[in-house]
Amino acid sequence: MRAPLKPCLLLAICLTVVSGLSRAAALEYPDKPVRLVVPFAPGGGTDIVARIVAQKLTEVWEKQVVVDNRGGAGGVIGTEMVARAPANGYTILFGAQSTLAMNPAVYRNLKFEPVRDFTPVTLVAYSLQLLAVHPGIPAKSLGEFIAAAKAAPGKWTYGSSGVGTSAHLTFELFKREAGISLVHVPYKGTAPAITDLLGGQIQAIIGSTAALLQHVRSGRLRAIAMTSGNRSTAMPQVPTMAESGLPGFNVSPWFGLLYPAGTPKTIVNALYSDMRKILNSPDTRQKIADQGGEPALSDSPRQFAAYVASERELWRKVVRENMSGDAMRINR
C-alpha cells in the first residue's frame, strides 16, 4: 500500500497541474479570428501601423486578425467599444497616445477610464509627426510658415483626426509656442483631413509621417518640419521644429496593444511573447520604419501599464497649463 502524499507535495503537484493547464490554454489561443480595433478611419498613420501588426499576428497565429476601423470623436468611439467588449482575448485595441492619454484630459464625460478599463500588453511603435501644408501656402520653412500665419491671423485653417487627438493637441502646443492663430477643423480621421488638405479646403496639418509621406514625395503636399526630437529616416531632409526655431519642442505619439480589463493573464502573456518576436524581426522593424515610425517594445505588460498611467498624468498637466476654450475639457 502506498503512503499518502504529504500536504506540501500535494500542493506542489496541484500548482504544477494548474500551471500546465494555463500554459496549454494560452497555447490554444486563438482558435478563431481576432478583431483588432483601430479607433480611427482607414488610411491614417494609426491604421497603417495597425495593419502591419495584424498581418504579422495572422502569420504567427495562423488565424485571421481582422482590422476593424471605428473612427469618430477623436478615437473615443472605438476605444469605448473595446472597453465594453468581452474579456476573452478576441478583441484587441490598437490604442494610441491620443485615445489613452490625451482624450481623458480633454473630454469631461468619457465612458471609459484608461487605467481601470484596459489591460495593457505592450508598446508597438512611436509615430513621427510632420507639419505639412498645401503647396499654395507661401512657406517652405517653419520660420516662413510662422511669419505668414502671423500676417494672416485667424484666416488659415488646420485639420486633425479629431478633437483631443495627438495631431490636435500637438498643433495647439505649436500655435502657443509660435504665437500664431489658426482655426481648428476636426475630422473623423487623418485620411479625410488629408483629402481636404490636398484639395486646398484647409491649409495645414500635423499628422504621422506614415500618412503624409506619399503625398510629400509626390509633391502634392509640402513638408515643413517634424514635431519629434529626431528626424525621420524616411524623410531625413526635413528638419525638426527644435532645429527650426522652437527649441525643446518634441512630441512623438505612440501606439500600443491593449485588451479589455479582466482578460486572462495567460492570454496577455501569450500576445506579449508573440509581439516580442514580431517586433524583434528585422522585416517588421523595416516595415514600420518605412512608414516613418520607430518600433518599440515594452519591457513587460506591467511596464506598459505604468507608462500609460504616467502619460495620462503628463497630458492632463499639459492641457491644464497650456490649453483653454475649445481645446480643453469638452463635454461629450
The two beta strands, 34-38 and 91-96, are parallel
Q: What is the DSSP string of 154-209?
A: TT-EEEESSTTSHHHHHHHHHHHHHT---EEEE-SSHHHHHHHHHHTSS-EEEEEH
So what's the pLDDT on residue 74?
79
Is residue 26 predicted with pLDDT exceeding 70? no
Question: For the segment 67-125, what is each residue's pLDDT rounded down to a tens digit?
Answer: 999 988 878 999 999 999 999 999 999 999 989 998 888 887 889 999 899 999 999 99
Q: Positive or negative, the Cα torsion across 263, 266, 270, 273? A: positive
Give mean pLDDT, residues 174-192. 91
3-state helix, strand, coil in the chain (%, to 5): 45, 20, 35
Mean pLDDT, residues 200-204 taken together: 97
Please tell me the pTM assigned to this model: 0.76
Q: Is the pLDDT of residue 185 over 90?
A: yes
Over residues 131-157, the pLDDT tens digits come to: 999 999 989 999 999 999 999 998 999
200: left (phi over 0), alpha (psi -120 to 50) or beta: left
Per-residue model confidence (pLDDT) at position 324? 57
The three grid cell numbers given for residue 92, joined into one nine-digit string: 484587441
At 98, list the grid cell: 491620443
Coil vs helix vs strand at 231: coil
Closest CA to 30 of 59, 54, 53, 62: 62
What pLDDT, on the 0 to 100 scale, is given for residue 320?
82
From CA 139, how far away is CA 147, in angstroms rounded? 9
Q: Grade residue 1 by pLDDT with cuts at 50, 70 and 90.
A: very low
The confidence score (pLDDT) of residue 66 equals 98
pLDDT of residue 15: 46
Which one is predicted more confidently, 317 or 237?
237
For position 10, what pLDDT does the model report? 52
Average pLDDT over residues 7-31: 54
pLDDT in tens, 290-326: 887 889 999 999 999 999 999 999 888 878 876 654 4
What whole-number percentage of the chain has pLDDT above 70?
89
Quick: pLDDT tens for 37-57: 999 989 888 899 999 999 999
If you average pLDDT over residues 21-35, what whole number do you get? 72
Who's near 14: CB < 8 A, 6+ residues apart?
A: none
Lowest mean pLDDT among 202-211, 222-231, 249-258, 312-321: 312-321
Q: pLDDT class for 166, splitting at 50, 70, 90?
A: confident
**Which domains occur in the chain, in start order?**
34-126+253-327 (3.40.190.150), 129-226 (3.40.190.10)
- Per-residue model confidence (pLDDT) at position 14: 52
Q: Residue 27 has what pLDDT?
A: 60
pLDDT for 24 beyond 50 = no
Report which of residues 266 and 230 the model is more confident about: 266
